[in-house]
């Protein structure tokens, strides 16, 4: 099991910073530890294994898989966190998976489909790899899964988690499918431990009012995992009640966020009145790693912890001092930054998240797990006209 903690070193121009935040913390959804423990205990972790996936398909695995294909970065991240990356033979190999050590040596398994304007699984490449199992997150087009099955591949199609409890279920399922139940349990325990530490730290703290800006006119709203990342870290998402991920600029201006959260290296959206909001007037911009923010995996805990350290440093430090279970450490890998914004694009294939985890990109074989995650196809096709440009950019 890998340990990560990203620093929350935020260099904000206005020294007053958090002293100007408002709002009172309320109970957060968080993770139901009892439910997670019960699910782990109920999983059959032996082989041969027979399970039913989200399509109702019965998936049979005779022996512990030694070669697997992960169709999106989120499930690849899960496997890496279980220290089982040697089993991965194929996955998306692009800038947004480069943080997974050794991923550049894997086979890229996506191709750009001009007919739909998205990247989809490359059936020919995957069949040539002949993996023991293909792991397909819910954002993968279901017809692509059908095509792989018709080509003789064993494919598990996941349910789509909409909350952190559901994400722990997904991680445990991945461990079960690839014969890494023990490692999955350790990953979930570390993740839940970190999140519970943060929840205890911020429970009585004021909630800074924040707005997540993808840079392309989209945000995250209530009901998405990214929204839960913000609220679990002790923040109030001013866009929680917006009717659409593609926000109305007037709503943002009226909400007057105190802080803007944006992607590292990315641009901010541009619209009338934005520069007059408190956040931009005071240069209160916090940067997050767009890969970790969008890819539905155990490193969501890193984002939550670092946001809490950014906005509630004293409370989090006190909670750490009162904790003896070692669920958090003081590592530093510099994933968050803050300060005045540069409105230029980062020029990479890194997907920009819009809270829906649409997974497939609109150009150059790119893919995201949420996929901007991240996110994220009959359903995807319906979304792509609205979200593809907003979330993913061409090289």
pLDDT tens for each residue of 87-127: 999 999 999 999 999 999 999 999 999 988 889 999 999 99
Please state, as a whole number, how many other Cβ atoms lie within 10 Å of the Cβ of residue 150. 9
Place of tokens 């059959």: 44
Burial of residue 359, with CB atoms counted within 10 A of its CB: 0-12 exposed, 13-18 middle, 19 or more buried: buried
Q: Quote the strand ranges of 167-256, DSSP E.
A: 209-213, 236-237
Neighbours of 295 (CB within 10 A): 35
pLDDT at 358: 39
Supply φ then ψ for residue 88, to 5 degrees.
-80, 120
Tally of CB atoms within 10 A around 50? 11
CB atoms under 10 Å from CB of 51, counted, come to: 15
Q: How confident is the model at residue 385, as a pLDDT?
A: 35
| pLDDT recorded at residue 259 | 98
Class of domain 33-187: alpha beta
- Secondary structure (DSSP) of 97-117: GTTSTTGGGSEE-EEEETTTT
Q: Which residues of 273-291 are buried (b: 16+ CB within 10 A; e: fewer)?
A: ebeebebbebebbbbbbbb
Q: What is the pLDDT of residues 313-338, one digit of tens each?
A: 999 999 999 975 544 444 444 445 55
User: Is residue 326 packed enough to be buried (19+ CB in 10 Å), middle (13-18) or exposed (0-12)?
Assistant: exposed
218, β-bridge pairs: 246
| Residues 185, 196: Cα–Cα separation, whole Å | 16
**Which CATH number is correct for 17-31+190-391, 3.40.50.1980, 3.30.565.10, 3.30.499.10, 3.40.640.10?**
3.40.50.1980
Q: Is 341 helix (H, G, I), strand (E, B) or coil?
A: coil
Helix axes 164-178, 33-42, angle to 10 degrees: 20
CB 178 within 8 A of CB 133: yes
Q: Report the interhelical angle of 313-321 vs 300-311 (nearest 10°).
A: 110
**Structure tokens belonging to residue 114:** 């001009």
Q: Which is nearest to 177 in space by CA: 212, 226, 135?
A: 135
Continuous segment of H or E residues that includes residue 230? helix 225-232
Residue 6's pLDDT is 40
pLDDT in tens, the chain (395 residues): 554 544 333 333 222 232 233 332 333 445 554 544 445 456 889 999 999 999 999 999 999 999 999 999 999 999 999 999 999 999 999 999 999 999 999 999 999 999 888 899 999 999 999 999 999 999 999 999 999 999 999 999 999 888 899 999 999 999 999 999 999 999 999 999 999 999 999 999 999 999 999 999 999 999 999 999 999 999 999 999 999 999 999 999 999 999 999 999 999 999 999 999 999 999 999 999 999 999 999 999 999 999 999 999 999 999 999 975 544 444 444 445 554 443 333 333 333 333 333 344 444 443 343 333 333 333 332 333 333 333 333 33
Extended beta strands in the chain, E state: 49-52, 58-61, 68-70, 88-91, 107-108, 110-113, 118-121, 133-136, 155-157, 209-213, 236-237, 259-263, 285-288, 337-338
Give the HSE-up count for residue 181: Cα atoms under 13 Å, Cβ half-sphere: 13
Q: pTM score, two decimals?
A: 0.76
Spans of all domains in the chain: 17-31+190-391, 33-187
Compute the distance between CA of residue 220 and CA of residue 319 in angstroms, rounded to an integer: 28
Q: Judge whether 17-31+190-391 and 33-187 match in fold.
A: yes
Per-residue model confidence (pLDDT) at position 292 = 94
Number of H helices, E strands in the chain: 13, 14
> Residues 108-135, buried b or exposed e (16+ Cβ, 10 A)?
bbbebbeebbbbbbbbeebeebebbbbb
User: For residues 211 and 315, what is the distance between their CA atoms, to the nearest angstrom?
Assistant: 22
Question: 301 near 190, Cβ under 8 Å?
Answer: yes
Radius of gyration of the chain from its Cα atoms, rounded to whole angstroms? 20
Rounded alpha-carbon distances, angstroms, from residue 308 to 8, 213, 279: 8, 18, 18
CA–CA separation, 307 and 235 (whole Å): 9
**β-strand pairing of 209-213 with 107-108:** unpaired
């Amino acid at each position: 099991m890998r340990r990560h903690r990203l620093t929350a070193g935020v260099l904000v121009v206005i020294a007053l910073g958090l002293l100007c935040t408002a709002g009172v913390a309320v109970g957060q959804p968080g993770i139901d530890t009892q439910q997670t423990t019960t699910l782990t205990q109920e999983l059959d972790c032996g082989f041969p294994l027979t399970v039913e996936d989200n399509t109702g398909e019965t998936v049979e695995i005779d022996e512990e898989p030694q070669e697997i294909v992960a169709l999106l970065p989120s499930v690849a991240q899960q496997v890496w966190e279980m220290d089982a990356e040697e089993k991965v033979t194929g996955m998306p190999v692009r800038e947004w998976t480069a943080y997974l050590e050794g991923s550049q040596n894997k086979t890229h398994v996506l191709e750009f489909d001009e007919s739909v304007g998205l990247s989809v699984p490359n059936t020919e490449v995957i069949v040539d790899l002949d993996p023991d199992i293909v792991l397909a997150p819910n954002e993968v087009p279901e017809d692509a899964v059908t095509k792989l099955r018709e080509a003789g591949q064993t494919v598990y199609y996941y349910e789509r988690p909409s909350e952190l409890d559901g994400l722990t279920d997904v991680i445990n399922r991945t461990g079960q499918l690839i014969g890494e139940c023990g490692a999955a349990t350790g990953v979930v325990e570390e993740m839940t431990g970190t999140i519970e530490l943060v929840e205890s730290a911020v429970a009585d703290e004021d909630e800074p009012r924040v707005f997540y800006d993808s840079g392309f006119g989209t945000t995250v709203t209530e009901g998405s995992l990214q929204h839960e990342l913000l609220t679990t870290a002790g923040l109030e998402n001013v866009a929680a009640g917006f009717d659409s991920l593609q926000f109305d600029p007037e709503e943002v201006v009226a909400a007057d966020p105190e802080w803007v959260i944006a992607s590292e290296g990315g641009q901010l959206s541009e619209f009338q009145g934005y520069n007059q909001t408190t956040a931009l007037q005071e240069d209160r911009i916090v940067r997050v790693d767009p890969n970790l923010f969008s890819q539905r995996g155990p490193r969501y805990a890193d984002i939550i912890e670092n946001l809490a350290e950014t906005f509630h440093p004293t409370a989090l430090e006190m909670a750490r001092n009162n904790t003896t279970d070692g669920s958090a450490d003081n590592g530093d890998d510099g994933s968050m930054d803050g300060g005045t914004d540069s409105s230029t694009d980062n020029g990479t294939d890194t997907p920009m998240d819009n809270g829906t985890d649409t997974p497939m990109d609109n150009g150059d074989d790119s893919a995201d797990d949420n996929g901007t995650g991240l996110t994220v196809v009959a359903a995807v096709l319906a979304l792509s006209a609205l979200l593809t440009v907003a979330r993913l950019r061409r090289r």
